[in-house]
Amino acid sequence: MTLEGGETLKTLPKARWIWKKLYQYALDRGQVIGLIGGGSLLDIGGFCAATWKRGVPFISVPTSLIAQVDASIGGKTGINFRRGKNLIGVFAQPHAIWVWPGFLESLPRSELRSGWVEVFKHALIAGGNLWEAVQPISVEKPPPLPLLSEAATVKVRIVQEDPLEEKRLRFVLNLGHTLGHLWESLSQPTKRPLLHGEAVAIGLAQEAYLSHRQGYLPEATLQNILTWLEKRQYLTPLPAFSWEKCEKLLSQDKKIRSGRLLLPLLRGPGEVAPAVEVGLQTLKKAVHWYRQRYGGAD
């Protein structure tokens, strides 16, 4: 089966189409589904495999940078629902993940740039050598193999310790994603939908600012993060939004527990603060700060 990639793949009608094919093939639980593609394909493909006849094994072959360092790892599968990202899904680990860096040679430039943001996020989480290694890099080229592998390992380690996000340890991987998902979702119907990584870059800047405001992240490190993103032209003006719409989308965030949003914040590269409870008004301040600094439609 071939499917056109992109975020629009992660919908219920597309899932239905895949299930229909599995029905036609009479796919049974003794067989294995192979998924070859970017994060969108792995997300929906893993979800369809995990729910078909209560779960058939699948093997993931990630072909984009995001998929190789992030989406193929950790067993989160799912689709979008209404305006919310990844609202329907299940945890399901692939039988195996096969990575071939050669796939990245044909990746469009914008997709490569989008993928580098997740590499940067993993470097922020891990600190140390990986953080040093990403400082001078060009986001126009695929990462060298050792860097690619180290960035993926950051996620592997965290997921092994907290596979189902029960200990809040895994929350840290959502760095930049609470607000990032908002911009990704709000930009979808516009002329220039943001790619996942592009939206996460904006979310990272805003959540780093929040980490600073909440007294965790020193000003110099905030500046360091912003400079890295600015230099590579990630911090673009926000898409048009109303705060009411933002609140509605944020109220569906999967990190909400009993009505409270738990946000992973940062103390510095390699030093994550415990997930902190924040009110929506606090998030609004970060959005306001960003808009004043980098622009955005009213």
Ligand X SMILES: NC(=O)c1ccc[n+]([C@@H]2O[C@H](COP(=O)([O-])OP(=O)(O)OC[C@H]3O[C@@H](n4cnc5c(N)ncnc54)[C@H](O)[C@@H]3O)[C@@H](O)[C@H]2O)c1
Per CB under 6 A, residues contacting ligand X are 5-7, 10, 37-41, 43, 63-64, 66-67, 70-71, 74, 76, 103, 106-107, 111, 114, 196
- Least separation in angstroms between CB 159 and ligand X: 9
- Least separation in angstroms between CB 198 and ligand X: 10
Among the listed residues 170, 184, 198, 212, the single catalytic one is: 170
Residue 109's alpha-carbon distances to 64, 73, 104, 105, 230, in angstroms, are 11, 23, 10, 10, 18
Token pair for residue 55? Answer: 């779960």
Length of the chain: 298
- Least separation in angstroms between CB 19 and ligand X: 19
Among the listed residues 113, 121, 177, 212, the single catalytic one is: 177
Among the listed residues 10, 14, 121, 155, the single catalytic one is: 155
- Is residue 212 flagged as an active site residue? no
Q: Which is nearer to ligand X, 185 or 221 (CB)?
A: 185
Please list the helix, strand and coil fractions of the chain in percent, rounded to the nearest 5, in that order.
Answer: 55, 15, 30
- Least separation in angstroms between CB 50 and ligand X: 12
Structure letter (DSSP) for residue 171: G
Token pair for residue 57? Answer: 């094994």
Give the helix/strand (H/E) hosting 177: helix 177-187
Q: Which is nearer to ligand X, 118 or 222 (CB)?
A: 118
- Least separation in angstroms between CB 30 and ligand X: 26
Is-contact 57 48, C-beta < 8 A?
Answer: no
Is-contact 80 7, C-beta < 8 A?
Answer: yes
Q: Which is nearer to ligand X, 170 or 212 (CB)?
A: 170
**Residue labelled with tokens 């997921």:** 159
- Is residue 95 flagged as an active site residue? no
- Is residue 230 flagged as an active site residue? no
CA dihedral of residues 177, 179, 182, 184 (deg, nearest 10):
-50
Compute the radius of gyration of the chain from its Cα atoms.
19
User: How far apart are the C-alpha atoms of 276 and 257, rounded to whole Å?
Assistant: 12
Among the listed residues 7, 80, 113, 174, the single catalytic one is: 174
Determine the residue type at 116.
Answer: W
Among the listed residues 184, 196, 198, 212, the single catalytic one is: 196
- Is residue 122 flagged as an active site residue? no
- Is residue 155 flagged as an active site residue? yes
User: How far apart are the C-alpha atoms of 188 and 241, rounded to whole Å?
Assistant: 12
- Is residue 85 flagged as an active site residue? no
Give the helix/strand (H/E) hosting 260: strand 260-268
- Is residue 181 flagged as an active site residue? yes
Q: Which is nearer to ligand X, 142 or 296 (CB)?
A: 142
- Least separation in angstroms between CB 72 and ligand X: 8
- Is residue 170 flagged as an active site residue? yes
Q: Which is nearer to ligand X, 155 or 212 (CB)?
A: 155
User: How far apart are the C-alpha atoms of 269 and 216, rounded to whole Å?
Assistant: 12
Q: Which is nearer to ligand X, 6 or 215 (CB)?
A: 6
Among the listed residues 14, 122, 181, 212, the single catalytic one is: 181
Q: Which residues are catalytic?
A: 54, 76, 118, 155, 166, 170, 174, 177, 181, 196
